[in-house]
Amino acid sequence: MKSLVILLSGIIFCSAIFPKQDDDLEKSIARGKGIYAENCMTCHMGGGEGVPQTFPPLAKADYLTQSPEKAIHAIKFGLQGKIKVNDLEFDNQMPSPGLDNEEIADVMNYIQNSWGNSSEKKIVTDKMVEAVKK
């Protein structure tokens, strides 16, 4: 009987927590889509494909999955110098778009869950963005 109560409590707890994270992620992705359209689409294009030899792709980009902290850093502080994305080298400058930590988290959540990318339901939070230092 005790085992059944513990099991049911666990199920209720999980059903209360995990849908909230999914809902928070979906809301963040929706906000991020608008931020992306306003700040990123000009260079990285509407489908995240980038511009060959000029601006790196965000769609199916190993740079995002292998080092999300570097991607957060690039959005937060801008980026200058060579980077490698999907075995292609890019050497251009990306100015900081001047977003706050929550906006950066939202756009990261959008990018990481669009165009063939998957964050596996892991949400980027403003606290994670705040932890990335120059």
Give tens-digit pLDDT for 33-69.
Answer: 999 999 999 999 999 999 999 999 999 999 988 889 9
| Residue 101 pLDDT class (50, 70, 90 cuts) | very high
Task: Inform me whether the pLDDT recorded for 78 exceeds 50.
Answer: yes
CA angle 24/115/76 to nearest 5° reads 60
pLDDT score, position 22: 87
Closest listed residue to residue 115, CA positions, set 53, 54, 32, 39: 32
Give tens-digit pLDDT for 86-98.
Answer: 999 999 999 999 9
What's this model's pTM, rounded to 2 decimal places?
0.82
Q: Is 114 helix (H, G, I), strand (E, B) or coil?
A: coil
- Contacts (Cβ under 8 Å, ≥6 apart) of 61: 48, 85, 86, 117
SS (H, E, C) 27-66: HHHHHHHHHHHHHCHHHHCCCCCCECCCECCCCCCHHHHH
Q: Does domain 2-131 have CATH number 1.10.760.10?
A: yes
pLDDT score, position 65: 84
